[in-house]
Amino acid sequence: MITKERIEDRTIADLLQAYPFVDSFFNNNTLEIEGKESLTLSQLFDEMDEEEREDRALDPDQFSAQLLEFINQMLSFLDEDNSVQSLTILPGTDKSGNPEGFTELVVRKSEVISIVGATGSGKSRLLGDIEWVAQKDTPTSRQILINDDLPDTSWRFSSSKKLVAQLSQNMNFVMDLSAQEFVELHAESRLVESRDEVVTRIIGEANKLAGEPFTPETPITSLSGGQSRALMIADTAILSKSPIILIDEIENAGIDRKKALALLLSEEKIVLMATHDPVLALMGDRRIVIRNGGIAKVIETTEEERTILGKLEELDRTLLSYRTRLRMGESLLDD
């Protein structure tokens, strides 16, 4: 955390170099700093007479305190330190009060965990426990550890630190923006460096996932369901700071699921994937089986199942080929 002394003793140029976003703070307070970058805050206020300070309603001590708070809030918001190396789930009980069927589940970065179970079995409750960083204080009595330890309370209460980023089944854009403008807006809010390159990369990665390509100029309201999901997966993978990504039923998205997972894992995310698709379920390193509101068991994906996965992927490619031919108006009887 930055202290008051650290900002008062530095020149405006130093502050701008260390914290580029303070330029907006000066502008919002109608404080002209152009040509005065070599001055410290104290020297800047010393140049003003009492009347000018009163006209601008500027109090040096209050201004410094507000600037300090602004910097610390922005640093917290922009914190790039993804300190989550592992997530541990300790068992609770199911809806009947019976102990869950595992002793401990540790999930590490760049790992995919599938969540399977019937509709209403409790998959959303598991997500809620992880997102809330439950400490035996939810209906399941589960406990969540971060990096093998009790979590910092910021994961529960800070609006700038979200442990989980969710990609839901239903995505409806309502803003009148192009795909490029939408991603630019998100990138700008994150104050990312090389924004143009990042925006280009996100749209490029989204087009690799989508069944049908779209251009940066395409209005987001006209994107298909698959294109929308592809854009949000690419955006979340590259721009989101949340270390854990939950994808709900990606099989219905009309995108390249394998490439989507590869993109998320390349950004060192922990991926939790609720699915009814056997291909996706077997793509996970492990799968959590949910029954009656509790984790019934955790299954490690074996080499034998990987062999089955290969056969399922071949069937999946065949089905995709037929689907594409039908959409293009072709007959399935044609060679």
Domain boundary among 60, 77, 94: 77
For residue 275, being part of any structural domain is answered with yes
For residue 190, being part of any structural domain is answered with yes
For residue 254, being part of any structural domain is answered with yes
Query: Do 38 and 101 belong together in one domain?
Result: no
Task: Give the per-residue pLDDT at 81.
Answer: 47
216: domain CATH number is 3.40.50.300
Query: Do 64 and 96 belong together in one domain?
Result: no
Task: Give the per-residue pLDDT at 291.
Answer: 96
Determine if residue 125 is left, alpha or beta; phi over 0 gives left, psi from -120 to 50 gives alpha, anything else beta. alpha
Residue 51: how many CA atoms within 13 Å on its side-chain side?
0
Query: Do 137 and 173 belong together in one domain?
Result: yes
Query: Do 98 and 150 belong together in one domain?
Result: yes
Cα distances from 70 to residues 21, 57, 81, in angstroms, run: 9, 18, 19
Query: Do 67 and 100 belong together in one domain?
Result: no
Query: Do 44 and 93 belong together in one domain?
Result: no
Domain that holds residue 44: 4-77
Query: Do 209 and 287 belong together in one domain?
Result: yes
125 vs 116: CA distance, rounded Å: 13
Q: What is the pLDDT of residues 146-176, one digit of tens each?
A: 888 888 777 776 656 677 888 766 666 667 8
For residue 334, being part of any structural domain is answered with no
For residue 172, being part of any structural domain is answered with yes
For residue 222, being part of any structural domain is answered with yes
User: Which residues in the chain show pLDDT less than 50?
Assistant: 80-81
Total tally of structural domains belonging to the chain = 2
188 vs 196: CA distance, rounded Å: 10
Task: Give the per-residue pLDDT at 103.
Answer: 92
Query: Do 168 and 49 belong together in one domain?
Result: no
Give 289's DSSP letter.
E
Query: Do 57 and 187 belong together in one domain?
Result: no
For residue 317, being part of any structural domain is answered with no
Query: Do 29 and 104 belong together in one domain?
Result: no
298 contact partners, CB below 8 Å, separation of at least 6: 101, 102, 105, 286, 287, 288, 289
Query: Do 213 and 71 belong together in one domain?
Result: no
Domain boundary among 31, 54, 77: 77
Domain boundary among 23, 55, 77: 77
